[in-house]
Amino acid sequence: MRRIDEIIVHCTATPEGRAVTVTDIDRYHRQRGFVCIGYHYLVYLDGTVHEGRPLDQVGAHCIGHNAYSIGVCYVGGLDQQGHPKDTRTPEQKVALRDLIAVLKQKYPDAKVYGHRQFNNTACPCFDAEKEYGEL
């Protein structure tokens, strides 16, 4: 198993309420030249958690941090005008917290970050470090 030092939270950067699936992101990432979806987990609008890239494989979600991280992504992140916004549904908030808590149990030394901590982006459009820092 890979060493995991970071859990990095992302958003799909899609408008609030627009459903996006693992298949959709996998297709988009393959078009960009990825082997498959770059995220390890995707949280749908209804709060269901779907596996993307297997955990034993290095992700493709945060340049310079993929080797020792897990990429967790929720569907959303933009308002209807395309501006960054925390669009997480109540179900997504619960699912993300639960998923990250489970990952922290498995990888207790891993720190939680938002993608924006490593890149010039608003992603995931909320302060993931603050929200999940105590897990």
Q: Can you tell me the distance from the alpha carbon of 35 to that of 129, in angstroms, rounded to the nearest whole number? A: 29
Tens-place pLDDT, residues 94-135:
999 999 999 999 999 999 999 999 999 999 999 999 999 888
Average the pLDDT over 3-30 and give the result: 97
Model pTM? 0.96
Average the pLDDT over 46-56 and give the result: 97
Average the pLDDT over 39-58 and give the result: 97
Q: Determine the CATH number of domain 6-132.
A: 3.40.80.10
Q: Which pLDDT score, from 0 to 100, does residue 1 have? A: 73
**Residue 54: pLDDT over 80:** yes
Q: What percent of the chain has pLDDT over 90?
A: 96
Task: Provide the residue ranges of all domains of the chain, joining segments of one domain with +.
Answer: 6-132
